[in-house]
Amino acid sequence: MLEKLCETCKQPFEPDARRTNPQRYCSAQCFYQRNGMIQNVICPVCGTGSYKQPSRIKRGDMCCTQKCGAIMFAQQRRKGRLITCPICGKETYKKHARIEQGESACSYACAKMLNRQRKQGLIAQPPNTETRRHQAFLAKLRHHNLRLEVLKAYGAWCACCSENTSQFLAIDHINGRGRQHRQTSAGANFYRWLKEQEFPLGYRVLCHNCNMALGLYGICPHNQVITTESERASSV
């Protein structure tokens, strides 16, 4: 059978003998491309060529695979970028926040080896490591000072056994329901919430032993009082 030239790609092909109408294209892809139903585009992530419908190109779908599409979407939203693992050399995708924290390994094994080499001094530490440590220290110091301020506002000693060591003290809900309170937005930073509310009534200072015994058994061995919520409410 005589070969024909495809009107799109200009490559020779053998027409199908079973078809009665003249065959002008070597494949359906050439037919769609000739009639403007698909267009050849270059993937902006990996540079691979692929065919897309004009409607999808108009919507911004230029990627060849779903993986490239996810990477492009994240880059457009400025969530992350591709970086090279310093251990195995493999490219991996990381968010900007994790990159700023010094994460550059592609897997747990590479991260473990990277931390070991950083401790040995074979690889330099991230430039913002000391800054992050200092910020964490300041945050811990602010929380410690806020906790002492709240304990001092409520007496700074246990209402049951008179313990006054700050490390042993905690804030107790006199009327109970501390678990439900912690599940609300106020429980996310309980000490800050107490200060913003100007140290409201219904709370007191207990040591961890008295607070745990009262919560588990409803009674404290030091003072066998305040066993029910009604008795707690009457004692306020």
Query: For residue 71, is it within any domain?
Result: no
Confidence (pLDDT) at 168: 93
Q: C-alpha dihedral over 58, 63, 67, 71, to 10 degrees?
A: -80
Average pLDDT, integer, range 11-17: 80
pLDDT tens digit sequence for 144-170 = 999 999 999 998 889 888 888 989 999
What type of residue is 195? Answer: K
How many other C-beta atoms can be found within 10 angstroms of the C-beta atom of residue 63? Answer: 21
At 35, list the tokens: 């009639």
Please count the structural domains in the chain: 1
Query: For residue 206, is it within any domain?
Result: yes
- Residue 226 confidence class, pLDDT cut points 50, 70, 90: very low
* Distance from chain centroid for Cα 80: 12
Query: For residue 228, is it within any domain?
Result: yes
pLDDT tens digit sequence for 87-139 = 898 888 787 777 777 788 888 899 899 888 888 888 877 766 666 677 888 88
Query: For residue 187, is it within any domain?
Result: yes
- Residue 236 confidence class, pLDDT cut points 50, 70, 90: very low
Query: For residue 212, is it within any domain?
Result: yes
CA distances from 63 to 46, 56, 68, 174 (A): 8, 10, 6, 60
pLDDT tens digit sequence for 174-217 = 888 777 777 775 655 888 888 888 888 889 999 999 989 988 88
Average pLDDT, integer, range 49-57: 78
Query: For residue 127, is it within any domain?
Result: no
Confidence (pLDDT) at 227: 45
Query: For residue 222, is it within any domain?
Result: yes
Query: For residue 49, is it within any domain?
Result: no
Confidence (pLDDT) at 77: 63
Q: Which residues span the domain enclosing 216?
A: 136-234
pTM over 0.75: no
Residue 78 to residue 81: CA distance in whole angstroms = 8
3-state helix, strand, coil in the chain (%, to 5): 45, 15, 45
